[in-house]
Structure 1
């Protein structure tokens, strides 16, 4: 399984508040090591990788997680606690 976190960086260069909160929860729970890739949707760069991924999946909120399972299936989670319970705590 591969997990990608997509977070938003605001025009002032700071992570969005919700992204900061989620990252803090991931770190506090010892889960950051399970995140394979972090992509940034940068408000200063509409062509940034995070915006491309968000557009691909039709997501307009951040942060979100893309989980690619070993069988090739993918699931997008926009609610952190759902992701936590269904993915991180389920293994």
Structure 2
């Protein structure tokens, strides 16, 4: 399983508030170790890695997570607590 987090950086260079809050929750819970890759969607830069992924999956919220499992279609999570319940806690079990 591979988990990609896409977080947003605002045009002025500051991190998106919700992205910072989710990243802090991941770190305090220990779930950050289960995130394989963090991509940045830079506001106003449609060519940034995170923005390209958001466009590909047609996601307009940040942060979001792409969960890839062999043999399955990638799953997109825009709600952190749903990711924890359905993926991260399941991994720990």
TM-score range, shorter chain: over 0.9
Aligned residues: 91
Partner of 1:7: 7
Structure 2 distance, partners of 1:22, 1:9, is 14
TM-score (normalizing by structure 2): 0.93
More helix by share: 2
Structure 2 distance, partners of 1:72, 1:37, is 19
TM-score (normalizing by structure 1): 0.95
Partner of 1:41: 41
Once the two structures are superposed, what CA deviation does each residue of 1:23-42 show, in whole Å capped at 9, x if it has no partner? Answer: 00000000111101100000
The alignment status of 1:86 with 2:77, answered yes or no, reads: no
Partner of 2:25: 25
Task: Please list every run of 5 or more consecutive structure 1 residues that lacks an aligned counterpart in the other structure.
Answer: none
Structure 2 distance, partners of 1:37, 1:28, is 18
Q: Which runs of 4+ in 1 moved over 3 A?
A: none
Offset of residue 45 of structure 1: 2.0
Once the two structures are superposed, what CA deviation does each residue of 1:16-58 show, in whole Å capped at 9, x if it has no partner? Answer: 0000000000000001111011000001422101110000001
Partner of 1:62: 62
Partner of 2:74: 74
Task: Please list every run of 5 or more consecutive structure 2 residues that lacks an aligned counterpart in the other structure.
Answer: none
